[in-house]
Chain A
Amino acid sequence: MSDMLLSVRNLTLDIPTGSGILHAVRGIDFDLRRGETLSIVGESGSGKSLTSLAVMGLLGKSIKRSADEIRFGDTDLLKANNRVMRDLRGNRMAMIFQEPMTSLNPAYTIGDQLMEALLLHRNVSRDKARARAVELLEKVGITAAASRLSQYPHQLSGGLRQRVMIAMALMCEPDLLIADEPTTALDVTIQAQILRLLVDLTREMNMAMILITHDLGVVARVADKVAVMYAGELVETGPASEVFATPSHPYTRGLLRCIPQPGKTARGARLGTIAGIVPSLVGEVTGCAFRTRCPHAQPSCREAIPMRGTAGHAFRCVFADGALSEEKGVVA
């Protein structure tokens, strides 16, 4: 009845390492409605991929997951056993990965791999599954779809393989598609095509999507909502338009300065960079993790900082305006 598809509350992921526990993801909250696209943005190592794998239940055995709530439709994923998760994966929720070159099994044909999800989850004949595979290959823009079924992954280019991966994820018409940096490994021209394809397909199939990326340019074109992650924490969430118009966390502003914006960035002007490196998350981590790189860091940044702002557009900073006034002051 409700159109809420996915609710995540206080998701925490700990990885035991030789030198202590690595607090990879700490207290993440987000919601996703049917048909909505949420983009999770952050640098490599910020925990964005782990977050999505945690939702899919595909974390490695060594990673400990805890949360107050992970609800997918009517299913409480925290209580779901392997069998329930298997029934959801590839069926109601599907995922595509960053590396199209290595994400397909080299030993089986494209057709076998496409049909597998449908045959696993639906009681259909091989002929039906084959027809569906051809239909989806055409939908993702692959020509001569029927003849591709008997080809092996090594016979396809990276762009084609990623299209196959998308078609594979869509075989059972999932409610949620998680795309983990789906275009990073591809040529720039192919990147735009794949992204366009994803947007069109989510609209057409009224599918929710979590798009994981480190590329804010991609987010601006695709997402309804944005969640910015830094070092395992959400630093800012909100509707894409608002976050881009009024970025409230110093890290988000830093990220936005790193990309050229048509009309705003002057020709020949230097793009921004964020000095410093991501801190180690092994051992006790308190306060704002960005304080070691933040130009406005205060002693109070070491204490726990609640999210502030509105329910729609929230951020985590000791400054009520995310130190925006200070930045303006510096500029002025």
Chain B
Amino acid sequence: MTDIADPLSAEIQGPSPRQMLKSRALSHKGLIFGLSVVLLLVVVALFAPLLAPHDPYAQSLMNRMVPPVFMGGTWEHPLGTDHLGRDYLSRLLYGARVSLMIGAIAALISGVIGTAMGVAAGYFGGKVDAVVTFLINVRLAMPVVLVALAVVAILGGSLTVVICVLGLLLWDRFAVVMRASTLQISRRDYVAAAQVIGASTPRILLTEIMPNVFNNLIVIVTLEMAHAILLEAALSFLGLGVQPPTPSWGLMVSEGKNMMLFEPWLVLIPGAVLFVLVLAINLMGDGLRDVTAPEGRS
């Protein structure tokens, strides 16, 4: 054999899977951007009482519709005030709390429901699968906005009601994706092996199935969070979601709508913040999917 220094015989040594995941994540611009913006807004939401220059509920009829700094206002109200003289920046900061809380809790509720249904359908198959698939079909046939609006209107608009209604309505994508991933995983040999050695069903679900569908689950959690935030904003915009005076971004757009002709920034600012938050969450979700399953990019 040749001596060791021959470049052709040098052993090809690749980076470990963990290193590759890390380098893929760090080089994914969308993921980095999305994650940074989401983290920033989470911090803003958590520390809103410290960061807000004013009480978001304090009205001042003397200071109505003060324009923001960049439109000739003062630093007293950096983003101006609304039609009741409330500080716009403070309402915006508190609004981040409403959006993120609704997004997170609704995604959690629907995630638990949808994952349970999807995993059960994928793992047990047969009648369970038929029932779950049927329920998904029924759920998809119901117009979400309309049903959510109707239910919120009947039960009365409050944060709790909106969160629960969205959580109970948005489980479809969890169920669809978890069903498909579980179906795929449970056909693998190691699941069959676990069944052969007599592992109990809960044990197989927890130790063999869940860890392997977890990546997909995280991606859907982020995407559904964005979905819930958008829906809450739409419901509040239509006046049938979170009720005034709670600072919800959708509600702020709705309240600004009447003054849109003269003060378009009243609509532009909360809408833009909403857009950026949802964009960031979606980029984060897409990024997570690209990074954890690079071959499945679509």
Contact = CB atoms under 8 A, between A and B. Distances in A.
A280 B7 CA distance: 10
B58 interface: no
A291 B2 contact: yes
A297 B2 contact: yes
A297 B1 CA distance: 6
B12 interface: yes
A126 B8 CA distance: 56
A284 B6 CA distance: 12
A301 B9 CA distance: 13
Interface string B1-30: 111001111001000000000000000000
Interface string A252-289: 00000000000000000000000000011001110101
A120 B220 CA distance: 48
A329 interface: no
A285 B7 CA distance: 9
Nearest to A277: B12
Nearest to B1: A297
Interface string A195-223: 00000000000000000000000000000
Interface in A106-165: none
Interface in A274-332: 279-280, 283-285, 287, 289, 291-292, 297, 299, 301-302
Contacts of B8: 279-280, 285, 287, 289, 291-292
Given A297-B1, A297-B2, A299-B2, A292 B12 contact: no
Contacts of B9: 279, 292
A60 B252 CA distance: 53
A146 to B, nearest CB: 42
Contacts, number: 23
A268 to B, nearest CB: 30
Interface string B159-177: 0000000000000000000
A299 B6 CA distance: 9
A291 B12 contact: no
A280 B11 CA distance: 9
Nearest to A298: B2
Interface string A166-193: 0000000000000000000000000000
Category for how many chain A residues contact B: 10 to 19
Contacts of A287: 8
Interface in B178-228: none
A299 to B, nearest CB: 7
Nearest to B12: A280
B205 to A, nearest CB: 35
Contacts of A302: 2, 6
A284 B7 CA distance: 9
Interface in B65-120: none
B8 to A, nearest CB: 4
Nearest to A285: B8
A261 B149 CA distance: 79
A280 B13 CA distance: 11
Which of A285, A292, A299, A302 has the most chain B CB within a 10 Å cutoff? Answer: A292
B2 to A, nearest CB: 5
A292 B12 CA distance: 13
A285 B8 CA distance: 8
A284 B12 CA distance: 15
Nearest to A302: B6
Interface string A89-114: 00000000000000000000000000
A283 to B, nearest CB: 8
Nearest to A289: B8
A280 B1 CA distance: 18
Contacts of B1: 297
Contacts of B7: 283-284
A56 B9 CA distance: 33
Contacts of B3: 299
Contacts of A279: 8-9
Contacts of A299: 2-3
A301 B8 CA distance: 11
A160 B214 CA distance: 43
The 9 closest A-B pairs by CB, nearest first: A292-B9, A279-B8, A297-B2, A292-B8, A280-B12, A291-B2, A297-B1, A291-B8, A292-B6
Given A291-B2, A291-B8, 13 more contacts: A279-B9, A280-B8, A280-B12, A283-B7, A284-B7, A289-B8, A292-B6, A292-B8, A292-B9, A297-B1, A299-B3, A301-B2, A302-B2
23 contacts: A279-B8, A279-B9, A280-B8, A280-B12, A283-B7, A284-B7, A285-B8, A287-B8, A289-B8, A291-B2, A291-B6, A291-B8, A292-B2, A292-B6, A292-B8, A292-B9, A297-B1, A297-B2, A299-B2, A299-B3, A301-B2, A302-B2, A302-B6
Interface of A: 279-280, 283-285, 287, 289, 291-292, 297, 299, 301-302
